Amino acid sequence: MSSVSSIAASGMLYAAARLQTSAAKIADPSSKAALSTEAVNQVEARIGFTANALMLRADSQMTGALLDMLA
């Protein structure tokens, strides 16, 4: 796995954990979390996950193209 892939995978894991934490705050009735803040956190986590997934895809495509050139 390339360093770009590792960074992208780490970013995806971070975004997923952030989303899970936000969802847990919303689901907990004793939590004093503001719904608007958690909605923003969830949107940011989704965008972060998507950006890292696209970076992972681009890395994979570039690696494939390089291997095609060398073949």
Quote the percentage of the chain above a pLDDT of 90. 92
Average pLDDT in the chain: 95
Quote the percentage of the chain above a pLDDT of 70. 100
Residue 57 to residue 1: CA distance in whole angstroms: 13
pTM: 0.86
Average pLDDT over residues 6-25: 97
Neighbouring C-beta atoms of residue 18, cutoff 10 Å: 17
- Domains of the chain, by residue range, sit at 3-70
* Residue from 4, 42, 47 nearest 25 by CA: 42
The pLDDT value recorded for residue 47 is 98
CB 52 within 8 A of CB 15: yes
